[in-house]
Amino acid sequence: MARTSNRAAKRELSVTDKREQAAAKIYKAVIYARLSSEDDRKIASHTVDNQIALLRDYIDSRDDMEFVECYCDRGFSGTKFDRPDFMRMIADMKLGKFNCIVVKDLSRLGRNYLEAGNYMEKIFPMYGVRFICVSDGFDSLYSKPMEDGMLVPLKNLINEAYAKDISKRVSISKENQQKRGEFIGTQPPLGYLKDPEDCHHLIPDPDAMQLIKDIFAWRLEGKSVTAIARHLNKAGIPSPVQYRIQKGMEKNPKYKDVRWDGCSVGCILRNVAYIGDMEQGYQKGALYKGIPDHRQKKEQRICVMGTHEPIVDKVTFYKVQELMDEVTNKQKQVQDKYKHLHRKDDIFKGLLYCADCNCKLSFYRRTVKLPSGYFNYYTYLCRNTPYREECTKKNMKLEKLEEIVKELISLHISLYMEREDILRELNGQKPVIGERSRLEQKKQEMLKEMDIIETRIRNLYEDLKDETISEAEYLSLKGEYVAKIEQLKKICEETEASISMLKPDVKVSFEVSENMDKFGGFTKLTPDIIKAFIRRITFFGDNRIEVEYTFSDQLQLLDKLIEERKMLCGII
């Protein structure tokens, strides 16, 4: 019994110690708020604005916190953690911009039991971040998720079960609407509008329906989808997404420069909506079944005939389908004919951009017949060139690009390592050693000053208990002392960073230096090497490229430090 009492007393003492430590530390707190599309239809107390107001009031009422920033994800499910502002918050956390996260309740963090638990029990503690759920009364400074029984894990499980239940209801409801032929998409296809009397019913758009008829007529005349797209762009006719922006149906400005291409024309020519039928279920996913979002085959979609007024007659539509199928079958025959030939992988995938339209370049395989047999060669092309006059023709073979990039990377590795050697040599000079000693002494003096101020804060608390000073005086003086400590901490961090750059074994980036050592002297270009050193490659045509390196900032810093050391040593 005595042992139990001792353990209880120790726990109570440790909590008290933590509270006293918290009183002497000001946490840089951020707010995270989230609202899914399902939550958005609920009562006002669950809105994002109310979440933020509640959390701001909570932070403002605390003496140990100062508000830094608010992160907010609107219309994002809690079952996934790749939300834009959540990911931005995690990136800022890793940079040390804050050390406390405040949310309304656990479901705002996420409704996935394992992911939420991983952040609370591992990631946040690893970065020294305090985590607070206001409505749930949880504060990681005084307790841990698994030390308070099963309360927090149970709430996480309930949140995940709730999300799956909502997913089931929404999925079943949408499927029933699709079977009734009701339109449930966000935006209707070009040529149609949502009926003002019934948003699930489509009516022809008088401003765009003629364009749809023209596109089908042009294809029936024998024009290819590429020729149609080029004609539409040349005539200045807005693409489907540009048209929606002009009409106020689309708000995202990033789509304002999207132009017509073969894909957008082809989607119109294949869409049965234009003969009055409703085909839906192109994308499907079900959280409650554990099925991720995926594109469904045509036979798996839900199609209801005669749901709205057609724009194109069925004879025209099916003649166009025959022409489209004929082109598709020819392409497939060519692909099948040469599928036995070995294919190379695109080692530059996602890194190549067109200088004219800023779109990613496409990787094309061409097959040619030589006396020795069939042979594949690979090129990079801009897919917008056939559709835009202002997008100049670009064509570079894979082998040529590999040769250029290999030479550039080898050159920059040598350049970087040479700069590191020069900096190390300069850091061994007497003037630099003297400057390092001066900064180390300055740092020690600041640490001593911080100790003195912390002692004063503790004495202040004693003075408050003895009623030597009032509560108002205590809070005022404590605030001044804490602000001074934060200022000294910042200067100490900057001084420590300067000291580290003055050491003989200095490395401006351990990751970059490690890659330089690891891949230095390479003979074959690999995806790992490209990923380590290349951020982006821009094509300008005529085989001219511009390379953006992952270590550009570090190389500039090396040059800057070398110049500073030369000035310190009196080297011109």
Provide the residue range defining the domain that includes 236.
Answer: 193-332
Work out the average pLDDT over 386-391. 80
- Would the pLDDT of 507 be above 90? no
**Is 344 a domain residue?**
no
What's the Cα-to-Cα distance from 426 to each of 330, 361, 561, rounded to whole Å? 67, 44, 10
Residues 395 and 253 in one domain: no
- Could you tell me the two tokens for 66? 């100062």
CA-closest candidate to residue 265, choices 299, 311, 233, 297: 233
Residues 97 and 81 in one domain: yes
What residues contact 269, with CB distance under 8 A and at least 6 apart? 215, 216, 219, 225, 320, 321, 324
**Is 369 a domain residue?**
yes
> How does DSSP assign 288-341, residue by residue?
GGTEEEEEPPGGGSEEESS-S--SS-HHHHHHHHHHHHHHHHHHHHHHHHTTTS
Please give the mean pLDDT across all residues of the chain: 82
Work out the average pLDDT over 508-531. 91
**Is 341 a domain residue?**
no
Q: Give 416-454 pLDDT, tens digit per residue.
A: 999 999 999 999 999 999 999 999 999 999 999 999 998
* Burial (CB count within 10 angstroms: exposed 0-12, middle 13-18, buried 19+), residue 152: buried
Using CA atoms, how far apart are residues 259 and 388, in angstroms rounded to an integer? 8
The pTM of the whole model exceeds 0.85: no
Residues 51 and 102 in one domain: yes
Among 138-152, 349-363, 488-502, 532-546, name the one with the lowest average pLDDT: 138-152
What CATH number has the domain bearing residue 277? Answer: 3.90.1750.20
Q: Give 212-253 pLDDT, tens digit per residue.
A: 999 999 999 999 999 999 999 999 999 999 999 888 888 777
Residues 493 and 446 in one domain: yes
Residues 100 and 200 in one domain: no
Q: Tell me phi and psi for residue 432, to 5 degrees.
A: -70, -40
**Is 487 a domain residue?**
yes
Residues 155 and 265 in one domain: no
On whether the CB atoms of residues 372 and 338 are closer than 8 A, the answer is no
On whether the CB atoms of residues 416 and 551 are closer than 8 A, the answer is yes
What CATH number has the domain bearing residue 71? Answer: 3.40.50.1390
On whether the CB atoms of residues 205 and 191 are closer than 8 A, the answer is yes
Residues 219 and 119 in one domain: no
Using CA atoms, how far apart are residues 334 and 129, in angstroms rounded to an integer? 58
Residues 494 and 373 in one domain: no
Residues 493 and 555 in one domain: no
Using CA atoms, how far apart are residues 277 and 274, in angstroms rounded to an integer? 7
pLDDT category at 147 given cuts 50, 70, 90 is very low
- Would the pLDDT of 564 be above 70? yes
- Would the pLDDT of 366 be above 70? yes
On whether the CB atoms of residues 42 and 115 are closer than 8 A, the answer is no
**Is 69 a domain residue?**
yes
Count the domains in the chain: 4
Residues 492 and 522 in one domain: no
Q: Give 77-119 pLDDT, tens digit per residue.
A: 767 788 889 999 999 998 889 999 999 887 778 766 567 778 8
**Is 3 a domain residue?**
no
Among 48-52, 128-132, 292-296, 451-455, name the one with the lowest average pLDDT: 292-296
**Is 281 a domain residue?**
yes
pLDDT category at 152 given cuts 50, 70, 90 is low
- Predicted local confidence at residue 417, as pLDDT: 94
Residues 288 and 232 in one domain: yes
Residues 526 and 411 in one domain: yes
- Predicted local confidence at residue 252, as pLDDT: 75
**Is 7 a domain residue?**
no
- Sign of torsion, CA 83 86 89 94? negative
Which residue(s) pair with 367 in the sheet? Answer: 376
Work out the average pLDDT over 516-522. 91
